[in-house]
Chain A
Amino acid sequence: MRVLAISGSLRRDSNNTALLRALREEAPAGVEVELWDGLKEIPPYDGDDDLAPGPAKVEAFRSLVREADAVFFATPEYNSSIPGALKNALDWASRPLATNAFRNKPVAVIGSSAGAFGGVWAAAELRKVLAAMGARVTEVEMAVGHAHDKRDESGELSDDEIRDGLREALDTLLAEAAPALAAA
């Protein structure tokens, strides 16, 4: 089973990307977590460029999503909402809506932030956007506040409770994805 992991942050030292690296470490045998690093290369959405095929980087992203059995997001929160770059990539991926790559795709969303609330509003908005795109949004909820305090000197996640939460979140996502695989 392949899980595409998408961080909403472009920052080199991102807390959310660190969470997804930890997620990859916690993945059970037989589950490959692929961390997507193409977010910065997605051009700004422009309806004039929204042709078939779309821009090469957009088509590559759409293919990655289609080929994944599930998608796991970790997002920061900018101004109480989804980071622009992430929303932009989803706006591209959502086209055309009726047949978009996220349609019926099992997804999980978690968030983290430097503040106390762990990006709960961004995560809620991201779930709303994914549902509108037709994704199969799981009930996974995990908000990691003061995220920078939960990493060791090398930048990796050092909090065992959060690692447990990541495993649980991944289990929920995999369970949602399993019926589709069984039917395939």
Chain B
Amino acid sequence: MSTIEQQVTGTFAADPVHSHVGFEVPYAVATFSGEVTDFTASLVDGHLEGSAKIESIKLKDENLQAHVLSPEFFDAERHPVLTFSGDVARDGDRATIEGEITMKGITQPATLEGTIVGPTVDHFGATRVGLKLETVVDRTAFDMKWNMPLPNGEPALGNEVTLKADLTLVAQEA
């Protein structure tokens, strides 16, 4: 049985090709999801910093995308970047990060929870750490209050949004 390192030391940066950042929100009868394609993340001695460009949110309809980037939601013109920072607390393969998320110019505390794998040397000799994290935020706390009532009176869009990050972090040369 291998011994899992409790702390990850050193400097790692996200490999964007093998990482994924996205969101899920209840919409009508199902879950609506989208992803952010332009993001960075670094892990330095257990401290995670991440940022994502709001304009890079990818949805399957350009008009819907325009609505999500508009002042009614992210206001990408004035608040082009989402940021997160926090310290990774590791317990075996479990990771918890008490940190802060800033969206639309508003900073709120957030706890990210998930799993951590590594450091592990890959087939090319690079050292990698995997972090799979999620948290639930109330979008209205970030001034994103849009909604429409369904015919049954219930709101079409949920307020609780799950933010997800599945990161492959690669050790950087000192």
Contact = CB atoms under 8 A, between A and B. Distances in A.
A98 B78 contact: no
Given A104-B77, A131-B146, A179-B78, A98 B65 contact: yes
A137 interface: yes
Interface stretch (B31-39, B66-74, B94-102, B113-121): B66-74
Interface string B52-95: 00000000001101110011100101100000000000000000
Contact of B71 (A96, A99, A136): A136
A34 B167 CA distance: 52
A137 B146 CA distance: 13
B62 A98 contact: yes
A99 B146 CA distance: 20
Contacts of A99: 66
Contacts of A131: 70-72, 146
Contacts of A180: 77
Nearest to B69: A134
A54 B65 CA distance: 24
A103 to B, nearest CB: 7
B66 A98 contact: yes
Interface residues of B, number: 12
Contacts of B65: 98
A116 interface: no
A51 to B, nearest CB: 18
Contact of A137 (B67, B71, B77, B78): B71
B67 A132 contact: yes
Interface in A149-184: 179-180
B17 to A, nearest CB: 28
Contacts of A104: 70-71, 77
A5 B63 CA distance: 27
A52 B168 CA distance: 45
A31 interface: no
A28 B51 CA distance: 41
Contacts of B62: 98
Interface of B: 62-63, 65-67, 70-72, 75, 77-78, 146
Given A98-B66, A134-B66, A134-B71, 18 more contacts: A97-B63, A97-B66, A97-B67, A98-B65, A99-B66, A104-B70, A131-B70, A131-B71, A131-B72, A131-B146, A132-B67, A134-B67, A134-B70, A135-B71, A136-B71, A136-B75, A179-B78, A180-B77
Q: Which 9 A-B pairs have the closest CB atoms?
A: A134-B70, A98-B66, A97-B63, A136-B71, A104-B77, A131-B72, A98-B62, A97-B66, A98-B63
24 contacts: A96-B63, A97-B63, A97-B66, A98-B62, A98-B65, A98-B66, A99-B66, A103-B70, A104-B71, A104-B77, A131-B71, A131-B72, A131-B146, A132-B67, A134-B66, A134-B67, A134-B70, A134-B71, A134-B72, A135-B71, A136-B71, A136-B75, A137-B71, A180-B77
